[in-house]
Amino acid sequence: MLRSLPSLWQLLRRKAVSEDKLPHARFSATSFGIRSLVVAGTGSPTVVFESGIGQGKRNWAPVFNRIAELTRAVAYDRAGYGQSEISDQPRDGLQIVLELREMLRTEGLEPPYVLVGHSLGGTMVKLFAKTWPDEVAGVVLVDARHEEFTQRCRQVGVHRLLYEPPETLLNMLPPVPRAELLAAPLTLKQARRAGSFPDVPLIVLTQSNATSRWPESLGKVWLASQRRMAGMSALGRIKVVGDAGHNLHMDRPDVVVRAVTGVVRAARLIRGKRLRTRR
């Protein structure tokens, strides 16, 4: 989810600048429709990438290909993006994570998962982790939005146009991103009301623009909310990424790769210790 008119427009219009290409896609015939996905690499845990509004799996290419050298990686297009079928189901977060889990099961991609979510996709992976905590080994949030960010902005008097898109812009969006954005308040509510976040390795990545270029009040609310997200897990930490905007995975794929690699390795260490304890 995005905070201002310029960043929303950039998210929906910007194309990946990297020359990296994803492996050939395959198609999953789920009960919710056909989904296009790419799978590469071997090993556990499986890293699952979830995109933000207006973006598909190809925007993860610079990160995906590096992670596939370390473990199994999965990126996909939500309903209505890329080559995935449009859905007649609501586009709220709970419906989307149900569809994601169904696709993973259909393809035999068993947990545990390390979930990586950008923007509104970050809210979705938080919802996934809270709903099925036993299936999640770690999480990386890439400039994601805290569930209470909007409320806090209102409390401190931040101008509405800095954190919510105007109706005129909503009307300009393609149908699928528009449906997801309209459902975003419900998605955020679902994430607030879901169960507890599991104590798994968690890295919160956020852009430096929030404190260097945004209005002071907005930047303070944003950074405080990012720190709260890092506190969801006893194993959580935050990193403010320099030279990056909202699309961190395209601006600084190297940082995202390091974060995901760190979470994968931490998850493996934790799993190894548990297996030794059981013996």
| Domain residue extents for the chain | 5-278
Look at 111-120, 163-172, 211-220, 243-252 and tell me which has the smallest mean pLDDT.
Answer: 163-172
Cα 95 from Cα 177, distance rounded (Å): 15
Tokens representing residue 3 in the block:
């905070």
Query: How confident is the model at residue 16, as a pLDDT?
Result: 41
Query: How confident is the model at residue 17, as a pLDDT?
Result: 40
Look at 23-37, 156-170, 174-188, 213-227 and tell me which has the smallest mean pLDDT.
Answer: 156-170
For the purposes of burial, counting CB atoms within 10 Å of the CB of 259, is it exposed (0-12), middle (13-18) or buried (19 or more)? buried
Once rounded to an integer, what is the mean pLDDT over residues 48-77? Answer: 97
Query: How confident is the model at residue 277, as a pLDDT?
Result: 80
In this prediction, residue 82 has a pLDDT band, given cuts at 50, 70 and 90, of very high
**CB–CB of 26/13 below 8 Å?**
no
For the purposes of burial, counting CB atoms within 10 Å of the CB of 187, is it exposed (0-12), middle (13-18) or buried (19 or more)? buried
Look at 76-90, 134-148, 209-223 and tell me which has the smallest mean pLDDT.
Answer: 209-223
Query: How confident is the model at residue 5, as a pLDDT?
Result: 34
**CB–CB of 142/261 below 8 Å?**
no
Query: How confident is the model at residue 98, as a pLDDT?
Result: 98
Query: How confident is the model at residue 179, as a pLDDT?
Result: 95
For residue 14, is pLDDT > 90?
no
Query: How confident is the model at residue 4, as a pLDDT?
Result: 37
pLDDT, one tens digit per residue, over 195-207 is 899 999 999 999 9
- Give start and end residues of each alpha helix (H) in 33-141: 61-67, 93-106, 120-131
Query: How confident is the model at residue 159, as a pLDDT?
Result: 78
Once rounded to an integer, what is the mean pLDDT over residues 102-114? Answer: 98
Find where tokens 């998850």 sit.
267
Cα 237 from Cα 31, distance rounded (Å): 37
Cα 275 from Cα 140, distance rounded (Å): 24
In this prediction, residue 177 has a pLDDT band, given cuts at 50, 70 and 90, of very high
Among the four given CATH numbers 3.40.50.300, 3.40.50.1820, 1.10.1750.10, 3.30.70.100, the one describing domain 5-278: 3.40.50.1820
